[in-house]
Structure 1
Amino acid sequence: MNADRIAALSGAGVAVEVVAQTGSTNADLLGRAASLPAPVLLVAEHQTAGRGRAGRSWLSSSENSLTFSLVWKFDGGPQALLGLPLAVGVMLGDALDRLGVQVRLKWPNDVLKDGDKLAGILIETQSAPGGGVWAVIGIGLNLIMPDEVEAQLGRSAAGAPWLARMERDVLMAALLDALAAGLRQFAQHGFGAFCVRWNLRHAWQGETVVILDNGAVLHEGRAAGVDDTGRLLLDTEQGRITVMAGDVSLRVKA
């Protein structure tokens, strides 16, 4: 992949960097955020220590996936970022739609294709000198899912062979454009501008689900979408409740 070509193909006006290998693009940008003057996209052709939520590892290879992080500065404190992982899911969903790949969203940060995980989102933050907060938005997108990788994961996962046939620089530029436009909208209007679109893509709308914390069931109920701050709405026997993301997990009840 070529950073100059991605930047030239994109209309986002964001600096682009490509490295052959690194541990984690999120960790790299977090370490630099305090000194950055503007947003940066960092693409790794191979990550050796990619991470998902709750410290889970993300398996990737340059042939089979796209791994990158985008660091973006927001005014205000952490409260200004409520719902950002879900909004990024909407941005990705809209971009993938335009590229011919139909996806659904799983609360709070997974992109699904045919019921299996196609992409994951990890957002980490750091206070900005002089005010505001830097958000490092890490994304891992499966392009091809070989049998041996599924065996390592211990579960099925989705691929998008159509995207794998695209020129990588063109694909990355299209995703960058969608993310940059969406992040500017989020900065102005918050998750409220994305809530309806998220609910339209909700993979488990109306399904009976359980909320787990370290394997223990915290709540059970019927998934009813999300509210305009990104909280999951769950209709339980005791009535409707809201669930914040944190490190809990969501599963369809077996």
Structure 2
Amino acid sequence: MSKSGDGAADGATPLAPKLKQLIRLLGDGRFHSGTELAQSLGISRSAVWKYQQALTDAGVDLLAVSGKGYRLNQPLQLLQEGQILEHLTQDASALLRRIEIHDRIQSTNGRLLELARESGESGVVCLAEQQTAGRGRRGRKWISPFGHNVYLSILWRFQGGPTVLSGLSLAMGVAVVRALRALGVEEVGLKWPNDIYWRQRKLAGILIEVGGESGGPCHAVMGLGLNVFMPGRDAAEIDQAWVDLHRILADGAHGMRNRLTAELLNHLLPALAEFESRTLAYWLAEWRSYDCMLQRPVCVFLGEQRFSGEAAGIDDQGLLLLRQADGEIRAFASGEVSLRQS
């Protein structure tokens, strides 16, 4: 299994090796003196100061205190392929072709869509410390601070055409909930069609992009953005109720990004491999058990139109059901609409 993610992809911007080494030294969130850092890095004290500026430019919050030295405002754990592979199950390892880990990239989904056009690979995972042009559903910007969250995409190929992938985002949502529950995160729910919630606040989002011939074969790129820790300045840009694992687990999330990534892959890779044979029907009952909008007042937006009512779950094709005030139940497909809680 090979790793390629050192910045060769279009739109990828690798960090200088010394800068990454500095981040790893400071990753524990403790104070380190300038002398200690200079010795560890094999550079001068003045060079340490220059790297401090480079960290700030990269979006990493660094605190410098006279007499104490330097520390990160919040600890962080850089992604490492070895640590991720260490926590993979045999089933997931067998399905994984390779991992790319980028320091900074425009979009992990964009990188794998590019790869899908260039090669016939399947089972490729793309991860990034930061996305500079991360996207959510319907073209929304995905806030992507450096080194704190999970930005993960998987390229998978299917024998059938795109129509066989109807409801794939629902299955992927179930897989993410399974992974989080395996790590002790309770009270996780799903908001149709592709958001992961915790106590009615958004924890993660899924974006699936499909390409290929109408009659098959086809490919799908499954993208996941999951909040591990959201720094304050980045949180200010989010226009909806949100939460991160740092708040859910009472500060216990900083050192778990590699293990978390592995656990996500332990559930997502088998779900992708099984989806075409099992189809959506296999996932429906479990998805419904996690439905956090069921019987809540919601608004559905279809272009310029707005429909109000009560969320009535999903039908057997994965369509959203809305019970309107007159009792009529209307169904909506995920590609057409946006769902919001009233």
TM-score (norm 2): 0.69
Q: 2:321 maps to what in 1?
A: 233
Aligned partner of 1:7 among 85, 92, 98: 85
SS in structure 2 opposite 1:80?
Answer: helix
Supply the distance in 2 between the matched residues of 1:99 and 1:166 (Cα, whole angstroms).
13
> Structure 1 residues 127, 185: closer, same or farther in 2, change over 3 A?
same
Letter paired with 2:285: V
Pair 1:112-2:197 in alignment = yes
Q: 2:106 maps to what in 1?
A: 23
Aligned partner of 1:94 among 178, 189, 193: 178
Q: Please state how far the C-alpha of 1:64 moved relative to its aligned partner.
A: 2.5
Pair 1:176-2:261 in alignment = no
Q: 1:123 maps to what in 2?
A: 208
Pair 1:66-2:155 in alignment = no
Q: Which has the higher contact order (CA 8 A, sep 6+)?
A: 1
Moved more, 199-208 or 164-173: 164-173
Alignment of 1:67-216 (within 5 A): 67-102=151-186, 103-127=188-212, 131-161=216-246, 162=249, 164-214=253-303, 216=305
Q: 2:133 maps to what in 1?
A: 49
SS in structure 1 opposite 2:84?
Answer: helix
Moved more, 116-125 or 233-242: 233-242
Identity over aligned pairs, percent? 37
Q: Please state how far the C-alpha of 1:242 moved relative to its aligned partner.
A: 1.3
Supply the distance in 1 between the matched residues of 2:224 and 2:104 (Cα, whole angstroms).
16
Q: C-alpha deviations, 1:84-120, integer Å up to 9, x for none? A: 1111111101110111112111111110112111001
> Structure 1 residues 252, 154: closer, same or farther in 2, change over 3 A?
closer
Moved more, 244-253 or 49-58: 244-253
Pairs aligned (count): 252
In the alignment, structure 2 segments of 5+ residues that lack a partner are 1-78
Supply the distance in 2 between the matched residues of 1:155 and 1:125 (Cα, whole angstroms).
27
* Aligned 8 A contact 1:211 1:250 in 2: yes
* Aligned 8 A contact 1:6 1:16 in 2: no
Supply the distance in 2 between the matched residues of 1:20 and 1:68 (Cα, whole angstroms).
13
> Structure 1 residues 53, 128: closer, same or farther in 2, change over 3 A?
same
Supply the distance in 1 between the matched residues of 2:304 and 2:200 (Cα, whole angstroms).
21
**CA RMSD, Structure 1 to Structure 2 (Å):** 1.9
SS in structure 1 opposite 2:331?
Answer: strand
Letter paired with 1:211: V
Find the structure with the greater CA-based Rg: 2
Supply the distance in 2 between the matched residues of 1:209 and 1:129 (Cα, whole angstroms).
34
Q: 2:74 maps to what in 1?
A: none
* Structure that is richer in strand per residue: 1
Supply the distance in 2 between the matched residues of 1:129 and 1:120 (Cα, whole angstroms).
27
Q: Please state how far the C-alpha of 1:238 moved relative to its aligned partner.
A: 5.2
Pair 1:224-2:312 in alignment = yes
Letter paired with 1:179: L
* Aligned 8 A contact 2:205 2:226 in 1: yes
* Aligned 8 A contact 2:320 2:332 in 1: yes
> Structure 1 residues 229, 130: closer, same or farther in 2, change over 3 A?
closer
Supply the distance in 1 between the matched residues of 2:294 and 2:215 (Cα, whole angstroms).
42
Moved more, 32-41 or 4-13: 4-13
Moved more, 62-71 or 127-136: 127-136
Supply the distance in 2 between the matched residues of 1:147 and 1:157 (Cα, whole angstroms).
12
* Aligned 8 A contact 2:161 2:213 in 1: no
* Aligned 8 A contact 2:298 2:341 in 1: yes
Q: Please state how far the C-alpha of 1:214 moved relative to its aligned partner.
A: 4.2
